[in-house]
Amino acid sequence: MTAIVEKRILLIIGGGIAAYKALELIRRLRERRYFVRAVLTGAAKEFVTKLSVESLTGSRVYDDLFALTDESGMGHIELSRDADLLVVAPATADLITKLAHGLAGDLASTLLLATDKKILAAPAMNVRMWLHPATQRNCKLLQEDGVSFVGPEEGEMACGEHGPGRMSEPAEILAAVEKVLLRDTRIPLPENLARKEAAGVLAGRRVLVTSGPTHEPFDPVRYIANRSSGKQGHAIAAAAAAAGADVVLISGPVALADPLGVKTLHVETARDMLREVETALPADIFIGVAAVADWHVAKTAHTKIKKNPKQTPCLTLVENPDILAAVGQRSKGRPALVVGFAAESEKLIENAQVKLAAKNCDMIVANDVGEASGVLGGESNKVFILTKEDKESWPTMDKQEVARRLVARLAGMLAGTGR
């Protein structure tokens, strides 16, 4: 990573237990030679002190909208515009709600509303609060407004619960800061205008994407699943929509928000997924990213299976329909491009080539899902692109970048088919 010298960060620290990680973030930003100015919300002061933040940033900490000295020293407009990037960490449910609805009752929310610079939010809150429809709705609104997000991560939380809601680690936030700064610090165009700009490559095309794992239940409370997070499939659906396509995403159970501008249908099992895919066809491009379970359990119990020391249950598995093969082998209404993914932990290329032919695909995106690769659930991906004529190795990239490149490649191929 090359250091970005003298960029100015305005760090808004919200009131949550994760505020302690903001101190480490400041340290890391300073190590990378960023100039950091910090703002504490009233609640943040319950978790970290002004003195510790001031010592780490080496500059004055702001916390009061009405303090005269703030206005004479540096007005809130100036404070919000002086930075190259505003980082909100932790971004509490309260701060996210205020920003999504344009409330400006305190210094932090006023700065966020008054800025003309990009905002990066690192949410942190209890899992129920994060998954609450109100929070998800607010995050969606903010994404539409061009706010970038890093995290939250899944894991053990300070409150003892488990799930998505943990603030990303300072190193992750730093990486996101650098990415946003490298991209563009302008506030982007409103979503509808941005889509118009990007439109063209897939305008007027219909794209169907499957994503996430499937769950195959064997009683009302238990199921067989896999580690797919849906991040890559959702990123592809979002990238296709950004390129102007009419996108339908059929998603297995994931902890992700529905991508913007994408019609998202939620399913649980492989058989449900196949049904929705068949209903959603025809399409110009089908991209099967889902880690579809290979089997379902022959008999699903209607009541919870009880433990019985004398008899351990034995599950009989039945092969699931292969959705990708069903689409690839359609004699009527086959999409012009059928793209599959191949998740392999050994003999990557060889196995992927077999899938390309067996499922009658136009392209297979092969990735190594061995334990050491960190692909499943991770942020980045290293893929090989296989077509009947060609094979190509792409460098490790984040899943959004893989999605953008893949969409651009498919748009080119589609134009080449003359359909």
What amino acid occupies position 27? R
286 binds ligand CTP (CB under 6 A): no
Which of 92-100, 234-242, 255-263, 335-343 is the region at the interface with ligand CTP (rule: CB under 6 A)?
335-343
Which of 99-107, 285-293, 299-307, 409-417 is the region at the interface with ligand CTP (rule: CB under 6 A)?
285-293
Smallest separation (angstroms) from ligand CTP to the CB of 236: 11
**How far is the C-alpha of 99 from the C-alpha of 41, rounded, in Å?**
14
- Out of 63, 322, 362, 379, the only residue in the binding site for ligand CTP (CB under 6 A) is 322
Among residues 168 and 320, whose Cβ is nearest to ligand CTP?
Answer: 320
248 binds ligand CTP (CB under 6 A): no
* Interaction residues for ligand CTP, span 197-226 (CB under 6 A): 210
**How far is the C-alpha of 139 from the C-alpha of 171, rounded, in Å?**
22
**How far is the C-alpha of 319 from the C-alpha of 292, rounded, in Å?**
11
**How far is the C-alpha of 255 from the C-alpha of 288, rounded, in Å?**
19
Q: Is 361 annotated in the active site?
A: no
- Out of 320, 335, 337, 386, the only residue in the binding site for ligand CTP (CB under 6 A) is 320
What amino acid occupies position 185? T
268 binds ligand CTP (CB under 6 A): no
340 binds ligand CTP (CB under 6 A): yes
Task: Please list the residues that pair with 117 across neighbouring strands.
Answer: 186
* Secondary structure (DSSP) of 239-298: HHHHTT-EEEEEE-S-SSPPPTT-EEEE--SHHHHHHHHHHH---SEEEE--B--SEEES
- Out of 88, 119, 342, 407, the only residue in the binding site for ligand CTP (CB under 6 A) is 342
Report how far Cα 144 is from the mean position of its chain's Cα atoms: 14
355 binds ligand CTP (CB under 6 A): yes
**How far is the C-alpha of 401 from the C-alpha of 186, rounded, in Å?**
20
- Out of 34, 47, 218, 341, the only residue in the binding site for ligand CTP (CB under 6 A) is 341
Pairing relationship of beta strands 380-381 and 337-344 according to DSSP bridges: unpaired
Q: Give the helix/strand (H/E) hosting 263.
A: strand 263-266
* Residues recognised as catalytic: 159
Which residues of this protein are in contact with ligand CTP, per CB under 6 A?
Answer: 210, 270, 288, 290-292, 294, 320, 322-324, 340-343, 355
